Amino acid sequence: MYDMNAEDFPTPDVEVETIAPERLKDRIDAGEEIVLLDARMQSDYEEWRIDGETVTSINVPYFEFLDDDIGEDVLDRIPDDREVTVLCAKGGASEYVAGTLAERGYDVDHLEDGMNGWASIYETVEVTDYDGAGTLLQYQRPSSGCLGYLVYDDGEAAVIDPLRAFTDRYLEDAEDLGVDLKYALDTHIHADHISGVRDLDDEGVEGVIPEAAVDRGVTYADELASAEDGDTFQVGDVTVETVYTPGHTTGMTSYLIGDSLLATGDGLFVESVARPDLEEGDDGAPDAARMLYESLQERVLTLPDDTLIGGAHFSDAAEPAADGTYTAPIGRLVEEMDALTMDEQAFVDLILSDMPPRPANYEDIIATNLGQNAVDDDEAFTLELGPNNCAASQDSLAGD
């Protein structure tokens, strides 16, 4: 009935249409009613999947479709009166599953490259509420909620919290904009994705890491520039100022861009505050939480209320601003997020009370970002697949 392909998934006899990840996201963003049949194992599905207000997501592992006689209990779970998009990890199993359903009269396609393809989506949105010099863009990776920033002015640019997987993208964007990518700055040693600072430095961009992070065991500190509290970087007429904000990690450093937006890394998000346990573990989390409280109260909330906050992540709980970015003015966050007006002990108790699971592969990712673990591009991409889980709470701490 089937010929086996190189990845040992049967190739269906019927032709199965594919849908590009970008096209699927456009349809979800447009509010279309989407039915997704996720053919990965249940544990993978529960950890990380594609969701949305208009998305109906069904998990039936691919092995349920391996027999010629598929159980009626399986088929009954899949609507036969609506278009269904099948997905898996890389696209092989989903093509097979979609084929078996197409042979039975279902209206199906499958997601090109599966969740790997979904993880390759990387979008740019202009921060229109930014009122500093130059132009500020926010990079958004919907699969993991990773955010980065590109500020450019007068022929120069800087990127903050770049991802290794998109090194070429930053260089291409700079070329398209007609600017010289001058700096690549990291806010801290990330635990959820592989940093692109060293790769950009290899391409002639000046890579910068926080000086306060060096003592964690950064093996390449002598090869890159470092940023201490109060240091500034000039990008055309834009001044990017280093603001030391420890708590999430001891090296956590924010960057104030044009006196208008504070790129807070994993210190403060538009829906929550940082988790404090990824560097020192559970035992060190209370002290790190107190450090975070001090950073927020003395370094972040003392900025003008109209200063925008732009973190390095957003979650499903986050609501984008009117311009489509995950940014918000400090004044609004203080009004909406009780954690920002609590006393220290209540703050510590709150953020230790509901922390989500730690990011997948976080120990290997940290070791890679410290330079202690060498991985190739494919391994790096695989390590960072999944949700980020860098916020303190599984739910939004802002608003209702």
Catalytic site positions:
88
Between CA 21 and CA 119 the distance in angstroms is 9
For residue 93, the number of C-alpha atoms closer than 13 Å in the C-beta half-sphere is 18
